Structure formats: C-alpha cells, structure tokens
Amino acid sequence: MKITIKDVAREANVSIATVSRVLNGTGKVNKKTKEQVLKAVKKLGYKTSTIPLAQDLKIIGILVPDLFAYHYSEIIEGATETLRKNGYGSIIATFNGRILEEEVAIEYFFTRRVYGVIVCTSEEDDEKLRRLLDIAIPVVTVDRENTDFRFDSVNIDNYLGGKMVAKYLLSKGHKKFLHITGDIDLYSIRYRRDGFKYQIEKSGGRVNVLESSFTTGTTYKKLKEYIRKNGVDFTAIFTSDDLIALETLKVLYDEGIKVPDDVSVMGFDDGYMAQFSIPPLTTVKQPRKEMGKMAARLLIDRLNPEKRNSVVRKMMMSLEIVERESVKNIER
Amino acid sequence: MKITIKDVAREANVSIATVSRVLNGTGKVNKKTKEQVLKAVKKLGYKTSTIPLAQDLKIIGILVPDLFAYHYSEIIEGATETLRKNGYGSIIATFNGRILEEEVAIEYFFTRRVYGVIVCTSEEDDEKLRRLLDIAIPVVTVDRENTDFRFDSVNIDNYLGGKMVAKYLLSKGHKKFLHITGDIDLYSIRYRRDGFKYQIEKSGGRVNVLESSFTTGTTYKKLKEYIRKNGVDFTAIFTSDDLIALETLKVLYDEGIKVPDDVSVMGFDDGYMAQFSIPPLTTVKQPRKEMGKMAARLLIDRLNPEKRNSVVRKMMMSLEIVERESVKNIER
C-alpha cells in the first residue's frame, strides 16, 4: 500500500497543508508540529512523489566560476528549481577562474556519470565540453561566449544591453559619459562596453572608460582617483553591474556630488539591492533566474530520447530597463 | 620524466610566472599568451602538483540551505580554498530549506562515497548525519545549533553577538530600541535577538521586536507600517543582518529620518556592501570565510587516520564590532 500525504497528516494529527509546509519548507510551522510531522514521515516511511530516493536520483552537474554576490547563485536557483520539479537533483562545482580546476570538475562530472551538465564558464574549455558531448552527456552553456561548438546555450545580448543603456541616457539629454567596467577579461563586460560606446559615439557623444574590477573596493578607489585627476567631466555614469554602481554612488556622496541632480548613474543587472540604494538605482534587468530555468529546460529536453537529435538551440533572453531614481533628464 | 612548470614555460616561450598566472587564474594575461600556455600544457600533458586527476580526486560534499547573498557562499569559498590547498575537491548541494531534499543530498553524498561532508543546515537531520558517522564518513557542521550528537562543529556565538551589540549601543547612550529580525525559525536569529534583549532589559532599556524576514522587500514594508502605527519610538535599530539594515536605511531616508542624527542603525554580518551604504554601516563582523576554512581544517584532520579518534571539537569563532558611521553617541 502506497503511503500518501493523507496518512502522514492523520498520523501526525495535523492538516495536509501543514505536512506540505513542513516538507516543502514553505510558510511557518512551529517546532513541535514540525517534529510531529517528521516523526510521522519517518514512522510511515513516506516519500514524496517528486523526490526520488538517492540511489534513483538523476543528477545534473552545474559548473560556475564562483558564488560571489547574486549572479551565478540566482542562475543556479532557477536551474535547480526547474530540475527538481522534473525529478532531477543537482550538484554544483565552482572553479574560481582556475582553468585546470574547471577541467577537473568537468572530468569529475564525467566519471560520476551525471545525466547532463550546465556550464556557466569561460571559453577555453570547448575541447573538454566536447568530450562530454562525444559520450552523449548533454551540455547546456549559460552566460558564455558563443563559439562554433554545437552546445545548446542561454545568454543575454550584452552588446544590445550596452546599446539600450546608451539610447536611454541619450534620450535624457546626456552627451558626456564615464563608463566604469568590471573585470574586462569577461566577454559579457567587454560586449556591454562595446555596445555602449558604439551607440554613444554614433550619436556624437563622448565616453571615457575607467577600467575597474568586481573586487570590492576597487571602483571606490579608482573613481576617487579619476575625479581627483579629471574632475567631473561627465553628466552620466554607466557601470558594468549594480555593485559597481553602489560603490559609485558612495564616491559621489562622499564628494558632495548629488545623484541624479549633478550626475546620473545607471547600473546593470537589477541585483537584489538595487531598489534600496540611495537613490534607488535605474538599471537593466538581467533575468538570471529565468536563464537558469531555461537552461534546465533545454537540458531536460535533451534527456528526452525523442528530442535528442533536434537542432542546437541558442536562446537569447530579453533585457529590460528598470527606471528608478538615479537618472535625471537634463534636457529640460 | 616528470613535466614541470619550467617545461611548460619553455614550450610556450613565456615566463614561469605567466604560466602560473594562467593556470591559477590570478592576474591578467592576454588572450594569445593564455592560449599559448594552454597549448603547451596540453602538448606536454602537464599536471600541477596540487590538482590531482579527476579519477584520483578526493571529493568533499558541502551541503547548504541556499546560495542567496553572501552568507553560505562565503563559507563555501573559505572551505573550498582550504580543501583545494590540501588536495581535495568539493561539490555543493543546496536544499532550499526542504527537509526531504536535505536528506536526499546527504544520501547522495553517501552513495557516491565522498570522503567527508560539511553541513550548514537545520537541526532535524541528526539521524541522517549519524548514518554518515556510522559508516565512518566524517562530518563537520557549520552555523548549526548544537545538539548532543558528536559532530565537529564551527559556529559563532550568536547570543554573545546580540549582547555585544546591546552593550555597544548602550554605551552610546541609547535606551529605546527596535530590533528587526530575519526569519525567526533560524536558531542564529533567535539567539541574536535573545542576547540583545537580555542585555538591554538587564540595563533597564526597552526593546520592541519587529519580526521580519530575509525575503527582499519584507523589512521595507514592515518597518514603514511600524512607523506609521507607532511613530519613531526608538533612538536605535538593531537588525538581524546587513541586508535588513540596508532596507532599514532606505525606509528612514524616505521618511526624512536622518541616520545617525535622528536614529542609529546597527547591522550584523559585515557583508560586502556594508561599507558602501549611505551612511556606511556599523555592524558585527561574522568571519564567514574563516568559518569555512576552519570547517575544512577540522574535516581534513578527521581524514588523517592518526587523528581520527580524537575528541569532538566545537569551534567558536570570535566576533568583532566594526565601527562606521551609522551609530551616534547621544549622551553628549
């Protein structure tokens, strides 16, 4: 006889909704009730239908450079959510930008026979990834520069993102810009810069580029130096991401430069803190969670034998500008 | 003949330092040089001494509730760094607060024969963890309420942390407080609250507690409501973490309440954005990276047969107050 959630509820003397809250970790349940439910689950040997036993668990490997701040974490969150709903578990490996470790992680996924791999990573690993394909382990890449290898992929159009920001700021009357970059060895950061510069210069505007990095504190220091040396030779700043924008806001505050009255600031990402900065940040929403979900969906499709030979799919997720209070129209 | 880094450097026609930079991902190397180095590595079949081949790789499983923001991410960063230096790889699993998934992840680590497990998690899993111990897989818990099970553990003293904040704010002349909590089902959050309340009330001060959560936007909404209903019936706010403090700063800013002139705000964590908030946040530094490193060290000790039967070690990492600009002395 199959044990159902009803049996657990009866045994624990609580409602079905309560059992569900405890097992799914949604909503609040007091500690005593929680214990009752877990006791009943254990006693009856209940297993939910969506979560298989570990030995039957189909595992997907997810490889990311790091877990700093929100970027890869939110991609992972989206991916694991969709995988779980489809009966897959996931394990994550990071490689902190070290190429050899990235190879080891891929090898590890390979030797432990994962069902598929989601890779958010650099461009030097084509050959290793191809080995996975050769032995029919499906690979989906996320946020990774396109190459001629035939992987399914999920990306945003970073070049277009840069152009969108440029058009938005130009429409507010700005003509002199400072662009502050993150780590320039990331293709996404170069593309944002190039799209931005292209659009501004095409319209007769001027962009100075300040090469910074995502390491906390770098932008604060570099922007202070820049202003000391050049003064405020811009009316708007575009930063590679929101964390750099936050450091930028702090520099301007410390220098007595008002945002957006004296200088406009625009970020990129719409990270979880962008709405609570002072002032709230106008930025570009990058759908990280959706990117993860889409990657999982592409991978699950590949794991369906009927779909295995379909064409390679390159998904471009759309971007949208989120208007808050850090950009001023200076035409009026 | 063993291939060394010298051979790679000679083959690629670059310096040893450059090879090291490419392989370790430290410092900048231009793309062409990078490719030369990788080509040489491949041609010669070079393997660094610290990174074993995947099939020989000793893997440690790390289990965390989630990867949101900085907390578990930084613990993982510290742990993987120390593990890597000692020749261990790591894989990460998340369970998003769902108890059954936590069990599945532990089972998975178990069936795939990891060498050890680092668990940052809830309290309901003692039995599962014990199964790992029973088959001699070492377990170290991090940031987890102590139980009578004999796991090595790394924690901070959250109760003491609450008391430290109370003493600090009392020393600045504050007597009426608002404490805003994160998810109260986390033991760490309850302990911070209890330590804070104990110390304040012992000194004749008054604490109102506003139960909020770590979900982005909750504190912003709840604090606005609180102020609308009760006015500003406090001179200082202590929040469970820095993200809640950031939302708090934003509410106060929007209400025209000056920090720290009208109200002082103190956070907890010293997250990476605390130094760039407006004003910069006075907070308690929780040594997340060091906690991860310590957990890895305890685990590595357990994996050393000579040390395997030593006593259970409960490490308490120390906390320190980081003074910035969000707290005012109102005695003067």
The dihedral through the CA atoms of A148, A59, A134, B31 has a sign that is positive
A164 shares its domain with A282 = yes
Which residues are bridge partners to A92 per DSSP? A62, B92
Residue of B nearest to A122 (CA): B25
The pLDDT > 90 percentage for chain A reads 56
- Of B25, B110, B276, nearest to A220 by CB-CB distance is B276
Same domain, A275 and A301: no
CA distance B263 to B43: 64
Q: Please tell me whether residues B162 and B147 are part of one structural domain.
A: no
Residue A23 at interface with chain B, using a CB cutoff of 8 Å: yes
Chain B residues inside the 8 Å CB shell of A277:
250
A118 and A150 fall within a common domain: yes
Asked if B96 lies within 8 A of A25 by C-beta distance, the reply is yes
pLDDT of residue B53: 47
Q: Are A228 and A293 in contact (CB under 8 A)?
A: no
**Separation between Cα atoms, residue A139 and residue A219, nearest integer Å:** 36
How near does any CA of chain A get to the CA of B203, in Å? 31
Whole-number pLDDT of residue B1: 62
Mean per-residue pLDDT over chain A, rounded: 87
Top-confidence range, A104-113, A306-315, B271-280:
B271-280
Instruction: Please count the other Cβ atoms lying within 10 Å of the Cβ belonging to residue A41.
Output: 24
> Which of residues A240 and B97 earns the better pLDDT score?
A240
Reported confidence tier of residue A52, pLDDT bands at 50, 70, 90? very low
In A56-95, the residues whose Cβ lies within 8 Å of chain B are 57, 59, 66-70, 73, 76-77, 80, 84, 89-94
pLDDT by residue, tens only, chain B of 332 residues: 677 788 888 888 888 888 877 776 666 777 788 778 878 877 777 765 444 444 567 889 999 988 988 899 999 999 999 998 998 988 899 887 676 777 777 777 777 668 899 998 766 656 667 766 666 688 899 988 777 677 899 999 999 999 999 999 999 999 999 999 999 988 899 999 999 999 999 999 999 999 999 999 999 999 999 999 999 999 999 999 999 999 999 999 999 999 999 999 999 999 988 999 999 999 999 999 999 999 999 999 988 877 666 688 889 999 999 999 999 999 87
Q: Does A28 touch chain B if contact means CB atoms closer than 8 Å? A: yes
Looking at the structure of chain A, the number of domains it has is 3
A134 pLDDT band, cuts 50/70/90, is: low
pLDDT at position B51 is: 45
Peptide bond into A260 cis (omega under 30): yes
Same domain for A34 and A59, yes or no, is no
In this structure, the answer to whether residues A97 and A209 fall within a common structural domain is no
The verdict on residue A120 lying in a domain is yes
* pLDDT the model gives residue B118: 94
A86 part of a folded domain: yes
Is the CB of B10 inside 8 Å of chain A's CB atoms?
A: no
Band of the pLDDT at A36, cuts 50, 70, 90? confident
Cβ of B89 within 8 Å of Cβ of A105? The answer is yes
Q: Taking a C-beta distance cutoff of 8 angstroms, is the pair A178, A226 a contact? A: yes
Classify residue B328: in a domain, yes or no.
no
Asked if A256 and A242 sit in the same domain, the reply is yes
Alpha carbon distance B174, B165 (integer Å): 11
Residue among B77, B105, B272 whose CB faces A67 most closely: B77
Judged against a pLDDT cut of 50, whether residue A230 lies above it is answered with: yes
Chain A residues with CB-CB distance to B33 below 8 A: none
Residue B186's pLDDT is 87
Does residue A32 belong to any structural domain of this protein?
yes
Q: Is residue B78 part of a domain?
A: yes
Q: CA B263, CA B330: separation in Å to the nearest integer?
A: 10
Q: Give residue A24's domain range.
A: 5-44
Q: In this structure, are A279 and A181 located in the same domain?
A: yes
In a domain, B303, yes or no: yes
**Torsions phi, psi for B300 (to 5 deg):** -60, -40
Here the ipTM equals 0.80
Highest mean pLDDT among A10-19, A99-108, A215-224, B300-309: A215-224
In a domain, A217, yes or no: yes
Q: Tell me, what CATH number does B231's domain have? A: 3.40.50.2300
Q: Report d(CA B70, CA B78) in Å as an integer.
A: 12
A99 in B contact zone (CB under 8 Å): yes
Q: Answer yes or no: do A171 and A282 share one domain.
A: yes
CB–CB of A57 and B104 under 8 A? Answer: yes
Whether B323 is in a domain gets the answer no
Which SS3 state, helix, strand or coil, does residue B62 take?
strand
- Element containing residue A211 per DSSP (H, E): strand A206-211
Q: Residue B27's pLDDT is what?
A: 63
B236 and B250, same domain (yes or no): yes
Same domain, A66 and A182: no
Q: Is B139 helix (H, G, I), strand (E, B) or coil?
A: strand
Range name among A248-252, A263-267, B4-8 with the lowest pLDDT average: B4-8
pLDDT at A101 (0 to 100): 75
DSSP notation for B208-262: EEEE--SSTTHHHHHHHHHHHHH-S--SEEEESSHHHHHHHHHHHHHTT--TTTT
Same domain, A190 and A271: yes
C-alpha–C-alpha distance, residues A74 and A76, integer Å:
5
Select from A98, A104, A253 the Cβ nearest to the Cβ of B57. A104
